[in-house]
Amino acid sequence: MEQEKTFEEQLEAAENKIKDSQENLGDVEVRDAMLEKASLQQKYNKYEDAIKTYIDTLPKSVGIGKKMDVHFLILQIYLKQRNLEKFKDHLNQQQILLDQGGDWERKNRLKVYEGIYCLMIRDITKACKLFLDSVATFNSSEIISYNEIVSYTVLTSIICLDRQSLKKKVHQNPEVVGVLRENQVLKSFLESFLQCDYKTLFQKFAIVNENLSQDQYLSIHRKYLIREYRVVFYSQFLESYKTVTLNNMAKAFGVSVQFIDRELSELISSRRINCKIDKVAGIIESSRADDRNQLYNNLIKQGDYLLNRVQKLSRLTDL
């Protein structure tokens, strides 16, 4: 049985192949040989060397698609290293190439890469939009599985979408439905939220919380995400009531009165939920935002700002 060659021996063979291609063949063959070398370096975790070799292939990569393919390989390395600065830089280069005439397949692949980047920097709203766009055209299995992308779509959509959009774009989405059959926890989490079954929702929420703590991209944002879910859940419940007792709300969620009191107090003090707690009567009073008054107040503030700017400009003109 032939002994497997060492990395150094394989690297020497790859470099000889590049040299032979340069002397006897064309740029296409040289590029292919260089990509083989870069792939070998990447396999043996020689990431910086691999990136340098990948970059060296760009001048010999004819066509926008071929150049984008090289950048995708580089992005995979930076993703593994969690090098967000370099990852973002190559995302920008991909976008420039795409604007110059990239095809739909690579455009869809790029959405997944960008969506994962948005997860890592906690831009949940943009990640949600990108994942929703990618579900039906997914083709980035080299960095993430289809089941994972659907899971991220569900998890981000519950926070970012209104109830009607969530039902239409996610719950009734054939691609999502197919995957959720294999993920009963996430399926029940979504459906109990839409059906206002808060006791079941909180039971599944505990499992989702545990899963988030182990997720490669979301674990560092777990506390933030859990807080956002709580805001969404409590806000949806309180929308149905002008007043509700702490006891009834606690029963609906299957928790103690003390737990609900503590949770709501924290979110009210940080102005994330519009309600008041009358602890003497044990009642929660919802205070819905008046959109018309809010628009009026915003108009007044913007008008004052504009007048101040005009006055400053007038004084400068007089000088």
What pLDDT shows up at residue 288? 62
Instruction: Scan for tokens 């394989």, then name that residue.
Output: 10
CATH 1.25.40.10-classified regions of the chain: 1-102
DSSP symbols for 148-166: HHHHHHHHHHHHHS-HHHH
Average pLDDT, the chain: 90
Q: What is the pLDDT of residues 44-65, one digit of tens each?
A: 999 999 999 999 999 888 889 9
Question: Do 170 and 154 touch, CB atoms closer than 8 A?
Answer: yes
Rounded to whole angstroms, how far apart are CA atoms 95 and 217?
Answer: 23
Neighbouring CB atoms inside 10 A of 25's CB total 13
Question: Do 157 and 170 touch, CB atoms closer than 8 A?
Answer: yes
Contacts of 31 (CB under 8 A, 6+ apart): 57, 60, 61, 66
Q: What is the pLDDT of residues 60-94, one digit of tens each?
A: 888 899 999 999 999 999 999 999 999 999 999 99
| Residue 150 in this model has a pLDDT that exceeds 50 | yes
Label residue 296 by pLDDT band (50, 70, 90). Answer: low
CATH number of 1-102: 1.25.40.10
Q: Is 232 helix (H, G, I), strand (E, B) or coil?
A: helix
Question: Do 90 and 98 touch, CB atoms closer than 8 A?
Answer: no
Rounded to whole angstroms, how far apart are CA atoms 274 and 285?
Answer: 9
Rounded to whole angstroms, how far apart are CA atoms 184 and 56?
Answer: 47
